[in-house]
Structure 1
């Protein structure tokens, strides 16, 4: 009986710890991405270097990731953003942010849209296939 109680308590503690890590990561993403901006990360789960943008970008060529103090941000720093992003966060409270597979906001093949004040990992189709991004409803 005592072993079962210890095992149950351990499982509850582990579940709570994992849930806390998930929420901490979202909070870190929101903290790293300034209000009204869109941010892309080199790694999944808002990890690694970050790219911060306040304007629509028709082509991510020439844009670079920088180190982020909030999200374990050295991995990918200095690398190009185009076709290198694994996650994103939209810090705009009013507009959706859309990332396109092709340059010039061309979504005929694929795109991924992030609701206001939300983000996540890119889908398998979009991961490392980001070429442009803009707010929808501007």
Structure 2
């Protein structure tokens, strides 16, 4: 999600963590183990630096969507032997699966790209594609989800047919910012996503230091943010991130409430709210006043704890790949269509 000349805020780039909040897409470990101690215990999945389960190992009791690539924030090899202290990402050669469930190792972060499965109890070498090219792993079966992206003028000209071929099935397209700016690529992207076969919607980048929430909601609706129950138009989304715009938490909550109320009054749908945990805590006081809005949660890597008491995320922005924001809808393709249609 990007404002003009704005990239994902530094607050989003959190160090990998084993804490997982409500709605997390990770599987529970089969048995209790001492996590991250360099010993491959019952209930853990272990990656080894060398082939044939040799060298230093890194032990995990949860799925990891991105190992991280640099110290000190990456997951590293903990056990004694060759490779100790190096980041696990793109450095593993073999595995031992002691979790009691099938584990899938992936070439890309976010459980994407080429993959290799290891049955419960299996030991083995990563194949020629995955050896030293491992970025994530999932313990157990993947929950239902749908791959999406979000774009703005920062992404230039999009090849929507290529995105669809790669598995992208929905998109959010930036339409407006503040009360005077419109994205010059909005129309092309909005039509391109739909013509490629995707469900798509529009988002508004908030500027709470400017016009009121009501005025910005009207600007958004009048310039691409309208919704209709046609099965392929997502409800409009309000993107709140960056700074607190010199507002108190109470004033920020009031601003967001005004935007949400106006959008719902005109469109008959509550807008989606896009945010990250740090911003929501700092700028709204971790408000719990917006549970009627679907949460689009920005948190690269692991899902983490959701803000504001939301019980689940509807969409998770989990990574940025080649300057393109990657998203997951929390449910099946049929559920995504129902969400679009408000049915």
TM-score calculated relative to the size of structure 1: 0.68
Please say if 1:77 is aligned against 2:77. Answer: no
Alignment of 1:15-54 (within 5 A): 32-54=39-61
Note if contact 1:41-1:87 (Cα within 8 Å) is conserved in structure 2: yes
For residue 105 of structure 1, report the CA deviation from its aligned partner.
0.5
- Other-structure match for 2:127: 123
Distance 2:41 2:138 in 1: 16
Structure 1, gaps ≥5 residues long: 1-31, 68-72
- Other-structure match for 1:137: 141
Note if contact 1:66-1:74 (Cα within 8 Å) is conserved in structure 2: no
Structure 2, gaps ≥5 residues long: 1-38, 69-73, 143-343
- Other-structure match for 2:110: 104
**SS of residue in 1 equivalent to 2:55:** coil
**SS of residue in 2 equivalent to 1:65:** coil
Note if contact 2:61-2:99 (Cα within 8 Å) is conserved in structure 1: no
**Which has the higher Rg, Structure 1 or Structure 2?**
2
Distance 2:133 2:86 in 1: 14
- Other-structure match for 2:118: 114
For residue 43 of structure 1, report the CA deviation from its aligned partner.
0.3
For residue 56 of structure 1, report the CA deviation from its aligned partner.
0.6
**SS of residue in 1 equivalent to 2:112:** coil
**SS of residue in 1 equivalent to 2:52:** helix
- Other-structure match for 1:21: none
For residue 136 of structure 1, report the CA deviation from its aligned partner.
2.2
Query: 1:57 pairs with 54, 60, 64, which one?
Result: 64
Residue correspondences, number: 99
Higher RCO (C-alpha under 8 Å, 6+ residues apart):
1
Runs of 4+ in 1 over 3 A off after TM superposition: none
Supply the RMSD in Å over aligned alpha carbons: 1.2
